[in-house]
Amino acid sequence: MASLATAELCDANPALIAKGELRVLQPVFQMFGQCRAFCGPIVTLRVFEDNVLVRELLESPGDGRVLVIDGGGSMRCALVGGNLGQLAQNMGWAGILVNGCIRDVDEINGCDVGVRALGSHPLKSNKKGLGEKHVSVNVGGAVIQDGEWLYADSDGILISKTEISI
């Protein structure tokens, strides 16, 4: 799926921004993966230092969707590593946004998927299977709902209530 420039989307949709239907995330996320620009419908996940549900979702067909993981902003371990980056690519996910850390940066950078995260951390996460899928999450200063749309490029990340165009 071709991505649209976030700056152009902002310029073309001031009414949506004013109404809060198009939100700009805080510029706190680092870029990883080969896809520097990506977009798609959102699947939400809330976990804390546990990535069992991350793997479970990425094992399902992505169909061009974007997995938004609210990891509580934890900087104590990684929620996504090289194996999950490769899985996301193989299963057709457009991207992953992690409110937390990733690891295996060189492996993820080799994957044809877009990844945004707060940073990298070498420690793997817990494996207890705790968390919630398809719930409202708070990431980058915005409340994000399952089914909304994410647009990401080198300028930033946008969240829209619906699919938008120029």
Q: What is the 3-state secondary structure (H, E, C) of 22-74?
A: EEECCCCCEEECCCCCEEEEEEEEECCCECHHHHHHHCCCCCCCEEEEECCCC
Q: Residue 97: which of 70, 120, 76 has the closest Cα? A: 70
Bridge partners (DSSP) of residue 159 are 23, 150
Distances (CA, A) of 79 to 12, 17, 102: 35, 31, 6
Take residue 48 and report the two structure tokens written for it: 């804390």
Annotated binding site for Mg(2+): 104
Query: 102: alpha, beta or left, given left = phi > 0 and alpha = psi -120 to 50?
Result: beta
End-to-end CA distance of the chain: 15
Take residue 159 and report the two structure tokens written for it: 């969240």
Annotated binding site for substrate: 81-84, 103
Annotated binding site: 81-84, 103-104
